[in-house]
Structure 1
Amino acid sequence: MFSTHKEQVIRSYKGEIAGRVHAAHWAQAGVVLAADLLDGRSDGRTHAPDQIDRAVEAVRAAGATGRILFQGDSGYYAGRVAERIVAGGGLFRLGVPRGKALWRAVGAVHEDDWIDAVDYPGAQVALLNYAPADWPDGTRVVARRVLYDAEQLSANPRSRRSRTVGKDQLALVLDGIEDTAYAYSFFATNEDLDLDEEIAQAEWEFRRRTKVEELFRDTAHGAGLSHLPSGSHAVNSMWMWGALLAYNLSAWLQMLAPIGTARRRIATVRRLLIARAARLVTTARRHRLRFAPAARELIATTLARIRAAVVLDA
């Protein structure tokens, strides 16, 4: 008898049955280091310390040295997460949920202390005189603000932009009393940020962490992670790892294939290097695949680099 029940998944607000992947992604290498398949009710902060340990172990096994910088959104905002990172000798940048203490700290920033953000016209950043309680010593919070006109803000409680504006300021704009309002974002870090250039650079790098979202889009559309096929959590976890392995293989292949410096999607790599037509020919009792001229040089170069890498590794 067929059942629609699946272990450790829930229905989203859209009514779709869904699981939730929590992954540690190595930004420089562009590969996944550790992952867990959870449901929407599970708190990522509970699983994060163990995942941090696995990610560090994987990075060290790959030969990486130096301090490791962890970046995450506000879903991983917890003192115990920061403590685990610091215990391993790492640095952190973790998104901070907006709260009353933060709004007070923002209000205390002098106008002259706001500096222009990097690659974000109209945005400004500042270091707050605030640190969350019970976090590691040396924790500091960086704020970013962006000015929006009234017509750019919505009264819809699900509006992502409007949620970044203080409630009192948003009410003044929606009531027509004010014409503009600042939207704010925050992150906590244990880095030594003393110069304006260091603050702006750290905020720019933290903002760019959202590129990791391309990982999930790519695995969803290119490797089948948009669908969990089984009622078994174990089977769905294997499906998740199959999709993430496809992502990693795509990243490794792109390190060797001469297809440009920009990261290509799995579908593009498949089209350029994998799903290529060829004829099986036999000459001198040897079987060979003969590719079309357009693909022959690219595939030959890639295979040569793979063989060289295997020899070096051996």
Structure 2
Amino acid sequence: MNKLAVLGHPIGHTLSPVMHNASIQALGLADQYEYDKLDVAPDALLERLSRFPSEGYAGVNLTIPLKEVAFQGLEKLDESARTLGAVNTVEFTDDGPVGHNTDGYGVLKALEEAFGKTVENDSVFVLGCGGAGRAVALMAALNGAKTVTLADVDAERLANLAAEIAEKAPTVDISQCLEKAEQVEKCRAADLVIQASPVGMKKDDPSLMPPEAFREGQRVFDLIYMYPETTLLGVARKQGAQVANGLGMLLHQGARAFKIWTGIQPDVAAMRTALELAVYGDR
């Protein structure tokens, strides 16, 4: 049996096993693969990764807060991980673990599915510039965004990310927002708003942005996927924006990861159905 898993700390919220095991069943591979979730603390990650191959693991996904730990600690990194500065997928090879990043691919596919376009020629506002936001902002800058505005409460984080984007995508106009009033103004002006902070992972979390930050004609994408609509998406929708949660990103980054581990194209339709059932119920 080839084992697969998602690692995080905490890990209870994840829907990765739901979608991967649905695909494994649909492909008739249940006697060959199984996918689980494991709680692994950041300071234990690298030692744990070194033991996985001997325990029968073919690969693992990483979620909060492990993506940057793996990027810093793994010797071998695929170009996708080097570009985005984070690892969300680890492949175990005969030459050791290799870190990949399928998040960039996943969010581009999800945006195209939800809104009919990705980021080309857009002014993009990224709210929250930690691991996920950093990858999304870099992805937008490298894939044709006209401008990228970074919003966070951490000035050093903003400055570091702005400098990294300027180095990797020098033609893109980058701006930084710390103050709330400026964040609201820049958010409203953007074509595409991407909410990449953890706020919204709890059902009663408030929206980080007030109603006046949104408008008709905007696209608003929240990376959080555990609920059909976060509070922020509800606020944006009421202001006339098109909205989508992060379920599509989870789906497509996971599909790419499975192909990396196994060389087999997953059953994306089965994965999508399982995710939608888990989040939306039997509609």
* TM-score of the two chains, using structure 1 as the length reference: 0.28
* TM-score of the two chains, using structure 2 as the length reference: 0.30
Higher relative contact order (CA 8 A, sep 6+): 2
Structure with bigger gyration radius: 1
